[in-house]
Structure 1
Amino acid sequence: MAALRTGDAPTGPGRGVPGSSSPSPPSSPSSPFSPSPAGDAPEPVAPEPSAAGSREQRAARHWARAQARRTASSLAAAYGAHPDVVSVLTEDERVVMIMHIRELSAWYVHRSMLGIRPETVLCHQDVCIGTAMLVATPVRLVGHGVPGLLAQAAAAAQEPYRLWDRVYDLAAPLEDGHGTLWQHRGGWAPDGVPLLVPYGRREPCRLPTVLRMAGSLEAAARLLPVLPAQHPPAPAH
């Protein structure tokens, strides 16, 4: 088995980790809010918000929080009995659904039902997190156990490559949602992404581009070897 290659960007402080934050950069000398070197220039003062603006902001936040509670209630009613669901809760104006994932196929179904695109998914330690907007409310799906399942899939592949929250075996033919077969002939883009070629053609295409154009890619089971049918021997004459 080849070593796992991945097209994911590294996750650092403040990226893909709930509750994390990166340190603020130092102020630039050219910034109007940087201290005056001689102390002779007055520092700018932020304008006071108007009363009307404050009322509108409070009303907007009140509506957003109420909408988040309604969305959370709807999701709890629809998913609450599912064995993968741990909890559905609100965080201010956002809904968070926490799941314990036991099969990758279940994770893909859940995030697809919530409208979460695979390129928005970030993985860190034992969780993968995807985000989407649902009924004007930000929804975060937290899948515990997904990275471990991805590691198992990579160990089972001959030439594993992980992109976002999927592992692809580049040694096997892949089939998209339209029935087109793709194969990796060893080509790589300058950024390290594998190039796939559709059967019967020569033009390579980057893996993320194939996914955006044709949907998900699965192992082409129809190209797996098929055992010949067993027939009873013909009677002797």
Structure 2
Amino acid sequence: MTTTPETRPGVEQDLTDRFGALARTFVAELEAQGRLVEAGGAAALEQLRARFDGSRPDSAYQSAVDVIVDDCGFPQPVATRVATALNRRGLLGPGGEPEPQHDPAPGPDPLTPPARGSIVLPRARREQPQPPETAPVLTVVPVPDQAPTIRPAAAQPRGEEPPAAWSQAQALAVTVAARLQTQHADRLEVLQIEAADERVTVVIRAASLADWEYWLDAIDAPLNVPTRRAGWAQVAAGRIDGVDVHLTAHEVPRLLEEAEQASAESFYLWGRVYDLTRPLVDQRGLVWLYLGQRQEGGMPLLFQRSTDGPLYPLGSIVMGNGPLTALPEPPAEPVAAAAAVQEAGGEQR
């Protein structure tokens, strides 16, 4: 486009109008931001700010804000938030000076463009763990007929309330369980003895019927205690110092069946198998014999050896004199054994 003398004044006027509008807009924006002052006003503001910063205890805070705004180019609100976060963490230090670091970490590398404006915090020093102190050795002094002062761990109920919240019945159950553990600690058949709420549970794996009968006496089960089979275990209940004690004996049903099959004539009564073909001795040392007579209900009738006394039911003898035990068979006499060998056509050695 060619500019002629006639059109030049019009173009200049158009440019003047446009630049004037742009200048007015720029000035309005400066006034809105509070950055427009009169001549000499900037120096006055700078002196006022220096005097105000010198009187404030947190001049380091304002210095940090100015550095973030002037050097990093971040807006005033962002700079204020960053400086506030640093001040809360104590990184600016009191009195406008940074806090001394006892073990400063290596300084960061020069900031790269992606890291501009990032906050670099010192890494806290990790303290070395101290070795645990050696626990004192506790010595348990046994006291006859008393539970130990240090209760066995298995006697304490699992998953129950702390000891402070136990009732009197629960505390008594724990005491009975601890006593059973202490008195029968050498029994190899024991699997578990512990207090369960207000009762005690005993679990064993019997190797013989003697183990089963031992624990019937240990839990103070009545002589006529009812027992029942639960799978491959036999269960019974006793009572010690007012606390119910429940006994679970594994393998006992099998042992009872084997004992019944091994005898030509046996009788099962209150958890025990009695071999009626052999002499039976009670807890007082009296020997009883069975001659094949029974009551109408099937209860065997026995009489005392070396007497002409009457017949007594087996149940009455057990309740009066305790459980009976079969006497061991006497060994064969040498003369009778030699005769038996000669009759068989053999030779005695």
- Structures share fold, TM-score greater than 0.5: yes
In the other structure, the counterpart of 1:215 is 322
CA contact 2:239–2:245 (8 Å) conserved in 1:
yes
In the other structure, the counterpart of 1:201 is 308
The share of aligned pairs that are identical, in percent, is 27
Q: Give the Cα–Cα distance (whole angstroms) in 2 for the partners of residues 152 and 216 of structure 1.
A: 20
In the other structure, the counterpart of 1:100 is 205
2:242 equivalent to 1:145: no
Structure 1 residues 180, 79: closer, same or farther in 2, change over 3 A? closer
Partner-residue secondary structure (3-state), 2:334: coil
Higher relative contact order (CA 8 A, sep 6+): 1
Partner-residue secondary structure (3-state), 1:178: coil
Q: 1:91 aligns with which of 177, 183, 196?
A: 196
In the other structure, the counterpart of 2:168 is 63
Partner-residue secondary structure (3-state), 2:257: helix
Partner-residue secondary structure (3-state), 2:220: coil
Q: Give the Cα–Cα distance (whole angstroms) in 2 for the partners of residues 195 and 168 of structure 1.
A: 13
Structure 1 residues 82, 170: closer, same or farther in 2, change over 3 A? closer
**Number of residue pairs matched by the alignment:** 170
In the other structure, the counterpart of 2:298 is 192
In the other structure, the counterpart of 1:119 is 224
Higher alpha-carbon Rg:
2
Task: Kindly provide the amino acid, as one letter, of the partner of residue 161 in structure 1.
Answer: F
1:160-194 deviation per Cα after TM superposition (whole angstroms, max 9, x unaligned): 11111211121222222333222222211122211
In the other structure, the counterpart of 1:158 is 264
In the other structure, the counterpart of 2:280 is 174
**Structure 2 gap ranges (5+):** 1-165, 338-349
TM-score, scaled relative to structure 1: 0.64
In the other structure, the counterpart of 1:109 is 214
CA contact 1:123–1:147 (8 Å) conserved in 2:
no
CA contact 2:177–2:194 (8 Å) conserved in 1:
yes
Structure with the higher helix share, 1 or 2: 2
In the other structure, the counterpart of 1:72 is 177
**Structure 1 gap ranges (5+):** 1-60, 231-237
CA contact 2:224–2:319 (8 Å) conserved in 1:
no
Of 117-126 and 163-172, the range deviating more from structure 2: 117-126
Query: How far did residue 202 of structure 1 move?
Result: 4.5
CA contact 1:197–1:205 (8 Å) conserved in 2:
yes
Q: Give the Cα–Cα distance (whole angstroms) in 2 for the partners of residues 194 and 67 of structure 1.
A: 41
TM-score, scaled relative to structure 2: 0.45
